Each structure stands twice: as C-alpha cells, then as structure tokens.
Amino acid sequence: MNPGPSPASGKAETSTRRRLLRMSGVAGLFLLSGCTEDVGEELPKNTKWPSAALKPELPVTERTDVLEERIEALADAEITDEDEFGAAFDDYALEVEAVEREQNVLSIEYVNTEQYSAGDLHDIAPIAGAFAALLDSGYDALELGITVLDGAPASFGSASIEAEWAAAYNDGGLSAKEYGELVATTVESTRRPPEVGVSPRE
C-alpha cells in the first residue's frame, strides 16, 4: 500500500508552483511593457492640439468694452429732442420704427438688422449714450423704454433705462461701463419657434 506524498512534500510543491507563477507574472509584465513602448514609438507625435481651431483669437472683446465704446460714441452728440434722438443712429445697424413720448416716459422701437451676428447690446449701448446726451441738453424724462423688433413677428426684445442712471453718468458718478452694465441688466428677449403650417403626416 502506497502511503502517498507526505505533507512536507506537498507544501514544497505548492511553494514551488507559487514561485513559478510569480516569475512568469513578472516576465509577462516586462514583455508587455516592451510591446506597449514599441506601439507608442510607431505612432507619429502629436504636433497640434485638436481644439486649436475652436479657440477664439486673442484679445477677446469684453462685453463691458463694447458697452463703453458705443455709449461714449454718442454721449457727446448734440441731441436736443425726439427727432434728433431718432436720427442719431444712422451709422448703426438698426432701423428706428418709432420714437414716442407718453407723459414722462420716452420710448423707441427699432429693428435690429444684425441680431444674429452682433446681439442686442451692440444697439442698446449707443441708444443709452444718445439718451444720456438728450438728458444732458435739458430734455426732461424719467425713463427710456426700448423695444427690439426683427423680421419675425413672434420675436422681440426689450430694455429700459432710468434717467437717474444717465444723469449719474453725465455727472461722472458712473463710468460708461457701469452705466452700460445697469442698462444690460434690464435686457429681456423672447423668441418663439415659428409655426409650421404643414401636418406631420403630410
């Protein structure tokens, strides 16, 4: 009768197997690292960031810079009444539809002809400058209401300018940027999707 392997010989075989497994694992990692390095060397080096085309050209124009420049462009103009106020924007991409006064509130409606490329602030800033010039000439109003129109009757925007903001700018209490930022906080825009006159089944 064969007594079989002794416990001591079984432990030795297990220990030997573990050593072989460890050595083969280390060798495998070494070979794998060599293969990975070879693959990396085969690929060309990246010499250009993929997102480079998406970066804006520097320097980027800040919103406050646009407000300041356009407010100052008209704030020194000679504007004394509603007619001169409405005619002050001939050099800008807006078409004045109406300038009206009701009690102490002056209002202007205009079509923004470059809404999608420039935005409403590009037009509201010179309007703010012209309103400051109008008040500086002695014109009396408490507020200017602005209505922005475009070619689609379902689209519009609005803004308002308090006379005290314009007066503070004229007196030096507000910079053009600060005055512009106050006006910018009042801008509201609503756009509804166009109605489609065709049934989805057609």
The structure tokens listed for 92 are: 């800008």
Task: Determine which of 30-34, 50-54, 87-91, 171-175 has the lowest per-residue pLDDT on average.
Answer: 50-54
Is the pTM above the cut of 0.75?
no
- 8 A C-beta contact, residue 117 and residue 133: no
Cα–Cα separations (whole angstroms), residue 33 to 28, 47, 134: 9, 25, 76
More confident residue, 138 or 35: 138
Q: What is the mean pLDDT of the chain?
A: 74
Which sequence spans correspond to the domains of the chain? 63-191
Average pLDDT over residues 33-57: 50
Cα–Cα separations (whole angstroms), residue 97 to 16, 86, 145, 191: 95, 9, 14, 20
